[in-house]
Amino acid sequence: MDRAEMEAFWMPYTGNREFKKKPRLITGAKGAYYFSEDGRKIFDGMSGLWTTGAGHNRIEIADAVSEQLRRLDYSPAFQYGHPLAFELAERIVSLTPESLDHVFYTNSGSECTDTSTKIARAYWRQIGQPAKTKIIGRTRGYHGASWGAISFGGIPANKKLWGQAVDSDHLKHTLLPGNEFSRGLPQSGQDLADELEDIITLHDASNVAAVIVEPISGSAGVIVPPVGYLQRLSDICRKHEVLLIFDEVITAFGRIGDWFAASAFEVTPDIINVAKQITNGAIPLGAVIVKGEIYQAFMESDSPEYVAELPHGYTYSSHPVACAAAMASLDILEREGLIERVRQLAPIFESKVHQLRDSPNVLDIRNYGFAAGMTLKPYPGDPTRRPWEVAMKCWENGFYVRSGGDTIQLGLPFITTESEMDSVVNAIGDALS
């Protein structure tokens, strides 16, 4: 493709000018590999975008999608339903911690962010506390690109352009000096959660609807919570009657060696958001999973029964083809024991990725499950350049890894072999050198 043919597409979160001068076009994929337009095989060190843990082009998903497209390509999302949406919801809630037992479908992580926080605000209104509207997020938190997501999220580049659209405040992130090169959960820093007491006190609990956090921040460079931190957040939320939302768009369905971070860390929030891995990335689908008492509060509405209890939804909420892709993906995760595989191989990945500790310009390495992030020393005044250069060097050498802010990120496919782990770690080491 020449540059003129590429102009029409305004690419998201991409330096369009640079890309169109030197495109990195992906034309095919199989298993843990991409194939590039220039005929190279490239190891997918990010499972797409944290999406495709079971490997690319899974025939079972293709068959399920194709069959569904022939049987029922679309059915109206409002006032009508199709059986698969109900079956999938049952299946999802059978995997979540017990009390999380109702599913509201979306199409993306950003829509989950808006949906979950809208449900939180509407819930408090529903039970007679309409002033509880403020949402507390975290600095460095990433919840997507919607107005809600950039408001509760803590990404400075988003704030710079768009400010804050929805009433929010922010807890500090959990990157604590002294915790560099922790393996898995850092041992210290639980107290960082106590700041939530101060924020809730400042705004008064009667004005606060929910706290939304990623149990492990992904896009900010795999920031892992200190031991006990999430439990502490949960305790403070309970104490002040504030809902706790876990944004598990990256952590759910295997990435951290469990179905959910809520199960792995034994902290049950009021709402869990999922997307990405639920269809192995093949078709967009997201879901907001809520506690029974939240759902029931809406069902006890005194409006006539034919009126929507929650006036919210998307044309493609519960799209039949997405539901079929999700069913097939969950089948693969279960049948092939991929989540167990991640759990078993995570310590091996951990020891390999921490070998990069002594490479030039590495300031920190963090990891959990099949996710790892490393912070690189910034060029003066230009923190994003070095990770970008490293990612580009890796690409040239046949490895796709992600640069985000001042970090390099790895989100290995769940099917990654030990020798592939060595290769991708060596590729990053070579690039750093």
Ligand X SMILES: Cc1ncc(COP(=O)(O)O)c(C=O)c1O
First and final C-alpha spacing in the chain = 33
- Cβ atoms within 10 Å, residue 8: 6
Whole-number Cα distances in Å, 318 to 74, 87, 365, 381? 9, 11, 38, 45
Nearer to ligand X, 34 or 246 (CB): 246
247 binds ligand X (CB under 6 A): yes
420 binds ligand X (CB under 6 A): no
CB of 310 to ligand X, least distance (A): 20
Q: What is the DSSP letter of 382?
A: B
Amino acid (1-letter code) at residue 309: E
Q: Are 47 and 413 in contact (CB under 8 A)?
A: yes
Q: Report long-range pairs for 290-297 (Cβ below 8 Å, ≥24 apart).
A: 290/100, 290/102, 290/103, 290/104, 290/116, 290/119, 291/99, 291/100, 291/101, 291/102, 292/99, 292/101, 292/102, 293/99, 294/102, 294/119, 294/123, 294/243, 294/270, 295/101, 295/102, 297/123, 297/126, 297/127
Only segment of 72-80, 178-186, 213-221, 399-407 that touches ligand X (CB under 6 A): 213-221
Alpha-carbon Rg for the chain in angstroms: 21
Only segment of 106-114, 166-174, 235-243, 389-397 that touches ligand X (CB under 6 A): 106-114
Amino acid (1-letter code) at residue 124: W
Contacts of 202 (CB under 8 A, 6+ apart): 169
Nearer to ligand X, 144 or 226 (CB): 144
**Total residues in contact with ligand X, by rule CB under 6 A:** 14
Only segment of 66-74, 204-212, 245-253, 386-394 that touches ligand X (CB under 6 A): 245-253
The binding track of 131-150 with respect to ligand X, each residue x by CB under 6 A or -, is: -----------xxx------
DSSP string, 184-212: SS-SS-GGGGGHHHHHHHHH-GGGEEEEE
The binding track of 59-98 with respect to ligand X, each residue x by CB under 6 A or -, is: ----------------------------------------
CB of 44 to ligand X, least distance (A): 16
Nearer to ligand X, 269 or 431 (CB): 269
Only segment of 89-97, 107-115, 329-337, 400-408 that touches ligand X (CB under 6 A): 107-115
Among 42, 250, 427, 431, binds ligand X (CB under 6 A): 250
CB of 425 to ligand X, least distance (A): 23
155 binds ligand X (CB under 6 A): no
Question: How many Å apart are CA 31 and CA 33, to the nearest integer?
Answer: 6
Residue nearest ligand X by beta-carbon distance: 109
Nearer to ligand X, 212 or 362 (CB): 212
The binding track of 215-244 with respect to ligand X, each residue x by CB under 6 A or -, is: ---xx-------------------------
CB of 5 to ligand X, least distance (A): 26
Among 249, 288, 289, 327, binds ligand X (CB under 6 A): 249
Instruction: Please give the torsion angle defined by the CA atoms of residues 327, 328, 334 and 336, in that order, rounded to the nearest 10 degrees.
Output: -170
Among 44, 114, 214, 420, binds ligand X (CB under 6 A): 214
Among 68, 96, 108, 403, binds ligand X (CB under 6 A): 108
Whole-number Cα distances in Å, 11 to 23, 38, 188? 12, 20, 40
CB of 417 to ligand X, least distance (A): 26
| Residues listed for the chain | 433
Chain contacts with ligand X (rule: CB under 6 A): 108-110, 113, 142-144, 214, 218-219, 247, 249-250, 275
